[in-house]
Homo-oligomer: A and B are copies of this chain.
């Protein structure tokens, strides 16, 4: 049975919940088709980036069925993914960093339950050293409730 037949069969028997998830999957594939450099997970999580200034960027992640953990709040691992992506992206953009940066270590403090319509991560450079970039990240929902706070160390890749 080929993939087309399998999908049609699944769609024809799908519940409303499943249709929501399929819409997300299809959307992420369509977005990635247009923007091939995007990672699958960034596309699935619908991450949108906004540069604030030389040291700060914001990354937004709208809530969706994909984010839920077993008790109906945002899965801590996906909050960590948002934080790592936002801080790593900002760390890659510091002056004098030509080939990007990799995460050395990440510490996330989960402060309040991850509920809300959208989650905004503010990633800020704390210290831009010769080899290491030290970052701070905060995740808030649309009501400005602080959900998680993080720090990260990133290693600059040299040429």
- Which residues of A line the B interface, CB within 8 A? 3-4, 6-8, 10-12, 18-19, 21-23, 25-26, 29-30, 33, 37, 39-41, 44, 65-71, 75-78, 80-85, 88, 100, 102-113, 126-127, 129, 131-132, 134, 136, 146, 149, 151, 153, 155
Contact in complex: B84, A111 (CB < 8 Å) = no
Closest residue of chain B to A107, judged by CB? Answer: B107
**B106 and A127 contacting across the interface, CB-CB below 8 Å:** no
* Residues B66 and A77 in contact, CB atoms below 8 Å apart: no
The one of B12, B21, B26 in contact with A40, judged by C-beta atoms closer than 8 angstroms, is B21
* List of B residues within 8 angstroms of A105 by Cβ: 105, 107-110, 153
